Each structure stands twice: as C-alpha cells, then as structure tokens.
Structure 1
Amino acid sequence: MATDDTKQQTVVLYPFPGVGHVVPMVHLAKVFLRHGYDVTIVLVVPPPGLPGFGTGVTDRIAASNPAISFHTLPPIPDDAHLSTSGKKKKHPFLLLLHLMERYNDALGSFLGSIPRARLHSLVTTMFTTHAVDVASKLNTPAYTFFTSAAATLAVLTQLPALLAGRTTGLVELGEEPLEFLGLPPLPASHLMPEVLPHPDDDELCRTIVNVWTRIMDADGVLVNTFEWLEAGPVQALMDPRCVPGRVLPPVYCIGPLVGDGASGGEAVNRHECLAWLDAQPARSVVFLCFGSRGSLSVEKIREIATGLEMSRQRFLWVLPTVAGTDGSVNLEALLPEGFLERNKDRGLVVQSWVPQLDVLGHPATAAFVTHCGWNSTLEAIMAGVPLLCWPLYAEQMLNKVLITVAMGIGVELEGYKAGFIKAAEVEAKVRLVMESQEGRELRARVVECKKQACTAMEDGGSSDAAFSRFLSDVENLAERV
C-alpha cells in the first residue's frame, strides 16, 4: 500500500541504452509504481550505427508507458569519444562504455535538480555502475539492477580473481571447464567473448572487468531472477569465497520481471501473427525468434528453413537480420525456392517486431527456438514453453548451460559450436521437443518453473519479500545520512 511519503519520493533508473537493458528497467519501474513511488528513467543517446542500440525502440517504449517519466541527458559531442588510438580503431562497445562514464556530470546535474528529500535512490545496470560515484557525492543510496541471471553475476564477481591469477587470457583454454561457485562446470569458451583475452593485453576486457567490479560498490544488487530457480548461484553470492577479501552487498532476487504482454503496450492493434496463431491447434507451433540483435547469414537462414520444412511442424518464424545487409531483403530470394508457397498452410514468416510475450503465452505455441537472452528465457518460463537453444553473443552460452543442464528446460542445437547448424539437426531437435517423451519431460519441468515463479511473485513470496526488504534497507540507509 502506498503512503503519502512514498508518493513524494522519486526513484531514478539509469539503464545502459541497449534494448535488453531498457526493457527490464521498464518492468522494474512498474514495480516501484505499484509501491507508490514516482519513477524517472534517464536515457542517453548512443552513437549511431550500433546494432541493438537505436533510439527508435526506446522512444516507442517511452511513448507507451506514460506513467513513467523519461529524461534524456544532453548529448555529448561525438568528436571526443570517436577518436582512435593510432591507426587501430577502438571497439564500438568500448567507445560506448567510455562515453557512458563521461555522462556522469550530466547525470549528477539531473539528480541534483531533485530535492534531496524526494530522491529515493539511483538504480544502475551492469554497464552503468560507475554512476555509483555520482550517487555517493549526493549521499543518495545507489543500487544495481542486474538484468541477467544470478549465475552470470556469480561468474562476474569471481572473474577478476580468476584473471588476476593468470598471466595469459582464457581464450587458450578452449573447451576446458572452469569451476565457479554455484554453477555446473563451465567451458571457458562459454564466457562472454569480451573477457576471454587478458585484461593487461586488451582494453575492452580491462574496461568491462573494471565496470563489473564496481557492482560491489553499490549498496545492493537487484537481480531479475527468483531464488528457487537459481538456488546454487544465489547461495554462492553469499559465500566469502565468491569475492576473496571483499563481501558483496546484499543481493535481492526480485524476479521474474517480464512485463504484461504486448511488450509493455507497444502495439496498439493486435499483431497479425496472433490471429494466425488463433487458427492453429493447441501446442502445435514452434516459435523462432533471435532477439533485437540477432543476425544470421543467408546460408544459416536457408538451413533453418530446410530443417523446419523437413520437420513437418507448424512454425512462426521471426526472421533475424541478414548478416551483411541493411535488413531489407526479399523473402522469395532469401529462402529456398518455393519455401513460402509449400509451407503457406503450416508456417508464417515475419520480418518485423512481434509481441514475443504474447506469442509465447498463446495456447498454440509449443516450443521456442531462441538465442538464450535472459529476458527471453524468463518469458519462456512464464509461458511454460521449453526452449531450443542457439546462443549467439554476450552471456548467452552461459544461459544455455543453465537452461539445458541446471534447469533442464531445453536442449541445445549443438551445431552452434562450429558456427553452423545444419538442417538435419534443426529437424531432429524440433521433432524431439514436439513429439518425444523427452520433449514432454522438458515441458513438465518448465511448467513447474512457471509455477514456482508465480509463487515467488505472489504477496509474501520470495521475490515479493525481497523487494520489501530492499525498500526497508533503503529507508535505513537514508536515516543514517
């Protein structure tokens, strides 16, 4: 129940500009709103040309969430952050990380414009942790919202000590398993590619590790997960061995936060794909979607098409961006000759955004071919849909291990390891999930995960209690200032 005091307080959320960070922040904002707080999400304008970092989607999100205030910081001139070192151009993601840090002054000015008595807290994400310095100067509680799994957080907290004990990077270990507290053995190759070099030899690796290290400087970490789902990693985050010589701030598992359908209300009219799903039998459709940054070559896309056709299963396929193009491609030329005509009664190919949560929750949807982004993983769990895992980038290979080994709610398309998944494997794995006893067992386990997730989010459930504990801890911090 909201109080008069909480209605006067403002929570400032400061996400990294990627869609995969902004969308979960919107979900978090809605939790604060339900507790009676005002919420402002502070955005920056990223440099043009970065995939998955465009302003169009964030503008649409802002327009469809009028209860949340959005504030865009004044752009910083390009000439400083686009400079290169010698003849070698810096990685675009490295430039963006440096740019974000340069926004600290502008963020401080905005926070300073809010009366101290009204400023409840600042919440950063995993790539904006440097902003804790801004909050510290203003004596404002600062927290990090970790939008990936608790397992990923456990890896990141243990990573600096692992790298410090080596003279070479992790890339040379290949498939050699690494031991992290709270996780199954993890092949070195399954870590984020950016941290495989040694920090002493690679500026991007060094910068990312430094940014992640700052998580421990926050007053606490909100994680988009629930304790039952990741009991091992959550316990590891409370183990002194997780970060030798330091103790992590409190960890609050407050998820799963996945929105309420239609991607937070982005679509005014019901999407055509949902009408198509209405006409399909229950649990008969394989849904394929590879996220906002998913990109595959023409050859890989044609292999998927051939495998789907061979499987004889119904499918809804959100076509990923075609590598090497600007996104505008002719379907007839892209897909195998005659594919669309032969499959017009069994499949639908879409080239634009679809309301993923609504598709997963539709009674006709039976399986999900996914890049294993954490947001997508949680949405599949909340829909009770098993996953076929095709990780593409970032921490998605780690998520694949969680999905297939720790949780047992999906299978991997093994060809991704060699960079090419053949049609025969697409056919076999789709049939396995859709037709076999193993597929039925996967579905039963993910349905149990959904049940536990709903319990965690109920009044008095573990995630609801964790959020209440977080609010109490913020209040205690404020009283000590």
Structure 2
Amino acid sequence: MKESVVLYPAPGTGHVISMVELGKLILNHHNHQFLVTVLLTTGHFDNPVTTSYISHISQTNPSITFHHFPSISVCLDTSPHRSGPAIAFEFIRLNDPNVRHALQSISQTSTIRALVIDFFCTSALQIASDLSIPTYYFCTSGAAVFAAFLYLPTIHNQTTKSFKDLTTTLLHFPGLPPIRASHMPRPLLDRNDRAYHDMLYFASHLPKSKGLIMNTFEALEPRAIKAIAEGICVPDAPTPPIYYVGPLMADSDNRTGEGGDGGASNCLSWLDAQPSRSVVFLCFGSWGAFSAAQLKEIANGLEKSGHRFLWVVRNPPTGGNSNLFSAAEDSDLDALLPEGFLDRTQGRGLVISSWAPQVAVLSRESVGGFVTHCGWNSVLEAVCAGVPMVAWPLYAEQHMNKAVLVEDMKLAIPMEQSDENGFVSATEIKKRVKELMDSEEGRALRRRSQEMRESAMAAWSEFGSSMTALTELAQSWKRG
C-alpha cells in the first residue's frame, strides 16, 4: 500500500501557502516517496488570493492532492466574549467531522504516515489519535514565537489578569527578549474571550504531538532554538522532537495576486530602472490595512524622506474590525493620498493598489530596504533576499517578531508607534526610512542581512541544517 502524508492548514493565505510549500518540499526532496494530500476548509474564510494560489499549484504540481471540505457556515456575530479569532477557531472545530471522514477515506487507499496540522487545528490531534495516525505540528511562525507558545501555560499560571490590563508589564519567555503583555497576539489579550482559552488549549497540546516542524533555520534563531532544546519552555513535560526545515516560501511565480499580472510587470520594470539599493519597499501583508489618517502620514513621511519608494496601499478597514481572512479590493489612490502627492513624487516613487509580487520585488537589485508588518513569511522573504527591514507590527504575533528581529537577529530598525493606538507620525516614518537607507546603522543592517542570506542558502545545501532535519523527519515517518 502506498504511503501518505496529510497536511491540514488553518484558513488564511500565509498558513495555506506555508503548508503547501512544505508539501512541495516533502515531494521534491524525497523522490515522491510519499503521497501528499492537503485538507482545505471551505466557507466564510476563503479569499481570492488563496484560491488563485491553490489553482496555480494544482496545475503546476499535480502530485499534490487538494481535498476540499464541504462548505461550513458559522455565526459571525461577535460579543464581548466572542471575538473574531474565537469565531475563526470555532469554524475550524466545526470541520472536525470532515477531518475524520477525510482521514478514514485516505486510509482506505494508502497508509498515512503522518498528519501535519497547523497550531490552530489542534482539535484534529485527538481525531488522529483515535485513528492511530502520528500527528505533527507545522509551525508557520518562527522558533521564538513557538518557544513562547510552549511556555504559555506557565505564564498563564503566573497571573490572573488579562494581558490587555497589564499595560506596563514585561513578560519573560525563555529564548525571547522581554515582551510587553499588551503586545501579545490579539486572541491572548482578554482572559474572558473564548479565543484566549482556545489558544491556551492549542499551546498545552503542542508537547502531546510526535514532533514540531518549524519554518525557520538554526542560524536565524539560535537563542530560541537553544531554549527549546534545553527543555525550559515546557518545564513539566518532555519536549517533542523539533525539525527546523526553513526557510520555506513560495516562489515568485507561484504568488498570484488579485492585482493581475500587468501591475506586477509594471512595478518590476520600474524597479529595474532604479539605481542599486536606492528603493525602500513598503508592504504590509494580505491583511495589513491602515486608517485614512495613517495613510496620509505615511505619504507625507515618504515625501519628506526624499528617497525612492515602492508602496503597496490597501483600502482602510470598514466597519471597525477588518476580516483577517479576506482580501482587500483595489484602492482609489487619488482619494486616499494627500492632494498632489502622486504628481509630486512621480519618478522617484511608485504607489500600487492592493498587491505586489513581494518575492520578486525583494530580489530586485534596486531594493535597499523593506518596511514590513513583520509577518513571518515576509520576514523570511526579506532574509532570503538579504534586505534589511524597518519593523512595523500590526497584528497577530508580529510584535513578538519585531522584538526578535530588532534585539536578537539585528536585521531591523524599530518603528516607534503610539502606545495608545499604534499610530505612527510622518516625522517618525521619515526618520526611520532615512536611518535605514542613509545611516551607518542601516549599512550595518545591510551587511548583516547579506550574511544571513548566505546562512539561509547554506541551510539548504547538501549537508545543511534544514536538509538534515528534513531527512531525519522523513526517516522517522518511514520507521513509523
């Protein structure tokens, strides 16, 4: 009977892309020893970027099978104790019967050697256990964030207060710089929110898996990796085996955006006409959206900096909270930006709506800096391109990523944000852009970034750390 590996990502572009890239890696580096099936939820949290990406992969990688679950709806009404993340986690749990049915169906034609699940898909752990299927987590964030998640039950027992109320408190996780309690991911801020208890449940089950597969590499996060290896992140139980198999990211020709190919071609042609390391690139991920006032501050800061720039602009969120799983529509740039801004910066700046081919942009010779929201996929893309960063976190675990990027990795300059609402002034934007592009500190970051790029390439050399880890992982599946 054939042998299979089944992958189960959470909905959301970054989660799906990372998991599919893991599937490609398993196939390509192990001569198709395993069949690879990806389980995909269907429903409210679908978005066009993910759909386009899956369609492309289906055409170019027919060895990967996508199993789409029947569509499920979930009540979207929020309450003080039922936040957006809590609704998303509920949606994933509602798919548990679909997970069980899919695993039973796949088992009829092949032996499932491993089920690899996203952190947010922890409810599948018990299902796989019932079916005697070994289960691994694939961690789409870095080792530092998952060191914190492993230690979260310990932190939980140290206080009875919500993190959002500990405004001046620093949390001390093994392997991380101190993190402000109020900068923890949104689902963890309020103990009265169902999402908090979901996250605690997810974290407490990490040690119960057969192993953790992490999208990072040893040279990038030695401090966090050391803390995990020493067992201090899980003080009351053995830490499962860890496999550091990154950096995993989609090739530039696999990232299809809603903006169409014309816009991508135009921005790449524009970049190719600019001097070496002269352009600062600003992009804030699939979900990164700013208020109208903040967009104007960014524009004013860029104009005053005097530097060349490529800036991806999304529409401001509407109705309070933006849907973190949806894609933005094209923006009316003339309406969003200060009057005359596009004319005054024509030639040295390019603003594009909604989407850019980020991997391709970062690889251009003209790009000398990256203002980023610190999403882990974006961090890895910048690392692999050797581009230094300005860290401007917006949501999820990005404040934690910022702390590690700035203080441990020394690959980024911090953007100073208002404590009250995260707002950043035009003066601060101008200052940080000039610091990144002009200062001695910026040049030091650029040298460090180039060195880390070489380390990332070395991790995937014949005897590199990530190649070795992937081989060990596949061997453990073969042994059963």
TM-score using structure 1 length: 0.91
CA distance in 2, matches of 1:320, 1:175: 32
Matched, 1:441 2:444: yes
CA distance in 2, matches of 1:369, 1:434: 11
- 2:325 is matched with none
Of the structure 1 ranges 292-301 and 328-337, higher mean CA displacement relative to structure 2 is found in 328-337
Offset at residue 187 of structure 1 (A): 2.1
Counterpart contact for 2:315–2:331, Cα < 8 Å: no
- Structure 2 vs 1, CA of residues 371 and 473 (structure 1 numbering), >3 Å: closer, same or farther? same
Matched, 1:225 2:221: no
- Structure 2 vs 1, CA of residues 268 and 137 (structure 1 numbering), >3 Å: closer, same or farther? farther
CA distance in 2, matches of 1:103, 1:324: 29
Flag structure 1 segments of 5+ consecutive residues without an equivalent.
Answer: 48-52
Offset at residue 56 of structure 1 (A): 1.6
State the Cα deviation string for residues 228-269 of structure 1 (Å, max 9, x = none): 111111121123332222112111110011222234466767
CA distance in 2, matches of 1:170, 1:441: 35
- 1:173 is matched with 166
Counterpart contact for 2:331–2:353, Cα < 8 Å: no
Matched, 1:75 2:71: yes
Offset at residue 193 of structure 1 (A): 2.6
Amino acid at match of 2:242: V
- 1:322 is matched with 316
CA distance in 2, matches of 1:224, 1:112: 28
TM-score using structure 2 length: 0.91
- Structure 2 vs 1, CA of residues 237 and 411 (structure 1 numbering), >3 Å: closer, same or farther? same
CA distance in 2, matches of 1:321, 1:212: 34
Amino acid at match of 1:273: C
Equivalent residues, number: 460
CA distance in 2, matches of 1:265, 1:99: 26
SS of residue in 2 equivalent to 1:208? helix
Counterpart contact for 1:294–1:321, Cα < 8 Å: no
State the Cα deviation string for residues 333-363 of structure 1 (Å, max 9, x = none): 2111111111111111110321100000111
CA distance in 1, matches of 2:297, 2:11: 33
- Structure 2 vs 1, CA of residues 279 and 454 (structure 1 numbering), >3 Å: closer, same or farther? same
Of the structure 1 ranges 215-224 and 414-423, higher mean CA displacement relative to structure 2 is found in 414-423
Q: After TM superposition, list the pairs within 5 Å mapping 1:70-469 onto structure 2.
A: 70-76=66-72, 78=73, 81-82=74-75, 90-115=82-107, 117-198=110-191, 201-264=192-255, 271-324=265-318, 327=329, 329-418=331-420, 419-469=422-472
Offset at residue 329 of structure 1 (A): 4.2
Offset at residue 205 of structure 1 (A): 0.6
CA distance in 2, matches of 1:125, 1:115: 20
Cα root mean square deviation, aligned:
2.0
CA distance in 2, matches of 1:415, 1:162: 26
CA distance in 2, matches of 1:245, 1:438: 42
SS of residue in 1 equivalent to 2:123? helix
CA distance in 1, matches of 2:255, 2:22: 12
CA distance in 2, matches of 1:210, 1:185: 23
Counterpart contact for 1:271–1:355, Cα < 8 Å: no
Counterpart contact for 1:11–1:122, Cα < 8 Å: yes
CA distance in 2, matches of 1:122, 1:29: 12
Of the structure 1 ranges 120-129 and 413-422, higher mean CA displacement relative to structure 2 is found in 413-422
CA distance in 2, matches of 1:321, 1:84: 23
Amino acid at match of 1:308: L
Of the structure 1 ranges 225-234 and 414-423, higher mean CA displacement relative to structure 2 is found in 414-423
Offset at residue 152 of structure 1 (A): 0.4
Offset at residue 189 of structure 1 (A): 2.3
Amino acid at match of 2:120: F
State the Cα deviation string for residues 34-54 of structure 1 (Å, max 9, x = none): 02132221111232xxxxx43
Counterpart contact for 1:45–1:55, Cα < 8 Å: no
Percentage of identical aligned residues? 39
CA distance in 2, matches of 1:90, 1:197: 11
- Structure 2 vs 1, CA of residues 140 and 349 (structure 1 numbering), >3 Å: closer, same or farther? same
CA distance in 2, matches of 1:448, 1:462: 16
2:40 paired residue among 35, 43, 50: 43
State the Cα deviation string for residues 80-111 of structure 1 (Å, max 9, x = none): x41869x7673232122122112122111111
Of the structure 1 ranges 379-388 and 258-267, higher mean CA displacement relative to structure 2 is found in 258-267
